[in-house]
Structure 1
């Protein structure tokens, strides 16, 4: 299927490794040029090299911090001047501070502040700078990566869930306000995804993995490719009538009907 994004420009945040890197590859495989944004310059350039070699598209590494206004302004300038974009904005962020704790044990204000900045304010900082650059183009896609814990809270995840829920609400507001410009805005909410790619080793003990698999009727954990496939579809021409939605990628873990 031709997703209609060949030649489009996609900005992907937190894309030097993990989910962001894989999403950038998935978009590039469909012919999109990519602007990669993360703090690690060396890792980011290595990803750009991979993408250029594997997919034959343009890939530009822009080192910077989502919380630094001057870095985000530079990201917008480079995306607009070098690739006439952005057409697609993928809002991916890092994780909450570790270790995760029970809600009433989260008493450290510094951890709450860090989680707020990394998972909510960083998204707002990037969106308020780049989304105006998408207006007037007649077409655009915004996709934020959140978590299925927003819809079904998981134990010890409140530090993450509270602010990812804020991202979902923020994106819903964006959808209502930018639809007139042909821009859609959606969230992808994953859970129970295999993250062994981070270290090349199993992310969980056999007992932990078995317990997580029991949370889904499919009896297995999800793959990075399955999450990236949903993100890529929401960035496609065919997804043009989906906006203000949050799509679960969690194998049926969420028990709610709606």
Structure 2
């Protein structure tokens, strides 16, 4: 039986040597995850679609945590986008230890009854939320196999385990995150690679807070269905990601952690 090599082995490197790629780094949640992993000593490759926002975050991290940061502008759902981002990170740092699949999301304007959604809209939502994650994993896994070490953390959603009004394609994609993690856990565990998911309920991001201010009915319904009666903070999700990326979680594989204030327990 193969044992966990431990945080300071040649396979994993020390915490100050390990490298994490964070996709979707330009959003509120990506920013919180970046700060949390930087504070844990990771070197970071930040991936997003907006270079000015990536530059701003990189500057924050250098000032706050003195981390070593690189940025990559890429659309992971486009052909070659994920491979280019991962190659850039590996070339920059020479390692590929943690992949946080945070790219994607949804907007109030994208929601609606399944029968009324166009094929174009459905494809776009699946590409942004699932295909981007599949392709990022496909690009990163060969490097992890070479090291015989890796941590994959998918940011799924409570929408991937319960039904929510108007979320058909998004729910399918987020359920896909869980299925993908379980498959990769089964297939790659023997090679020192784990794959897990964090499944948040409504998170206090800029987008969600704006929707609350606008009185968006979907968000109000979710909040009313949450026993704690409040949003999850981005920092709480980031803490869960850091746990799955840590050596403490080395024997946790193929699992998903729901952080939703009890919404899915109803």
Q: What TM-score do you get using the length of structure 1 for normalisation?
A: 0.89
Q: CA deviation at 1:198?
A: 4.2
CA shift, 1:167, in A, is 2.0
Residue by residue over 1:42-72, the C-alpha shift from the partner in whole angstroms, topping out at 9 and shown as x without a partner, is 2112211111111111000111110234333
Q: What is the aligned partner in structure 2 of residue 102 from structure 1?
A: 113
| Map of 2:197 onto structure 1 | 187
Secondary structure, counterpart of 2:147 in structure 1: coil
**RMSD over aligned Cα atoms:** 2.3
How far is 1:95 from its partner?
A: 1.8
SS of structure 1 residue aligned to 2:20? strand
Q: Please say if 1:204 is aligned against 2:242.
A: no
2:134 partner SS: helix
Contact 1:38-1:64 within 8 A present in 2 as well? yes
- Report deviation, 1:6: 3.4
State the match for 1:245 in structure 2: 255
The whole-number CA distance in structure 2 between the counterparts of 1:75 and 1:170 is: 20
Go from structure 1 to structure 2 and tell me whether the alpha carbon gap of 1:213 and 1:115 turns closer, same or farther (over 3 Å shift). closer
125-134 vs 63-72, which moves further = 63-72
**TM-aligned CA distance change 1:221 to 1:96, over 3 Å:** closer
User: 5 Å matches for 1:12-161?
Assistant: 12-96=22-106, 98-106=109-117, 108-161=118-171
Change in CA separation of 1:179 and 1:75 when aligned onto 2, cut-off 3 Å? same
Asked if 1:234 corresponds to 2:244, the answer is yes
2:223–2:230 CA contact under 8 A, matched in 1: yes
Partner Cα separation in structure 2 for residue 70 and residue 159 of structure 1: 23
Shift of 1:33: 0.6
Give the distance between the partners of 1:68 and 1:12, measured in 2 at CA: 17
- 2:159·2:167 contact (CA, 8 Å) conserved in 1? yes
Q: Which residue does the alignment assign to 2:177?
A: 167
- What is the CA deviation profile of residues 95-151 of structure 1, one whole-angstrom value per residue up to 9, with x for unaligned ones? 246331122322x11001101211111111111111111113232110000111111
Q: Distance in 1 between matches of 2:256 and 2:31?
A: 21
1:164-204 deviations in whole A, cap 9, x for unaligned?
11222112111111111111100111012222x349x6430
**1:203 & 1:224 partners in 2: Cα distance?**
16
Alignment partners' CA distance in 1, 2:98 and 2:61: 17
Q: Is the 8 A contact 1:100 1:159 kept in 2?
A: no
TM-superposed CA distance for 1:248, in Å, is: 0.3
State whether residues 13 and 91 of structure 1, in contact with CA within 8 Å, keep that contact through their aligned partners in structure 2: yes
CA distance in 1, matches of 2:162, 2:16: 36
Q: Tell me, yes or no, if the aligned pair for 1:9 and 1:87 is still in contact at 8 Å.
A: yes
> Aligned residues, how many?
252
Question: Structure 2: which 5+ runs fail to align?
Answer: 1-6, 8-13
**C-alpha separation between the residues in 2 aligned to 1:113 and 1:90?**
23
Structure 1 residue 20, shift from structure 2 partner: 1.4
For residues 210 and 96 of structure 1, the distance between their equivalents in structure 2, rounded to whole angstroms, comes to 16
Separation (CA, whole Å) in 2 of partners of 1:73 and 1:206? 38
